[in-house]
Structure 1
């Protein structure tokens, strides 16, 4: 499907910042993309760096909760 192809493209492309990928995943409810992006974070500092982006303030509470869950896992 188009959504699957878009999700795969967004996941693998390095031309789009992860903060924007997460915004798109949040906005269009692309749960697989959200999970794939969040799984790429290996340190708490990587997640904290998102707060300095413009996209962070557009994230839903669910997205912020998912990021917090990842922080707790690290």
Structure 2
């Protein structure tokens, strides 16, 4: 019969092996995911910058139309 100490040692060994396998798989799987996420974040940043530029341009146009007296020509968004 296996005693309690041997059983705990065996369990600890199995847990260590499983942890190492999990982390190796995580590393291998993340190698393909990370470039995708990086590209997605870069695209999102570019979209936010483009939205900011478009917003500033729209504000400038509204300001110019308001100064020229054509307030009714611009609809509020």
Measured against the shorter chain, the TM-score band is under 0.3
- Name which one, 1 or 2, has greater alpha-carbon Rg: 2
Q: Which has the higher contact order (CA 8 A, sep 6+)?
A: 1
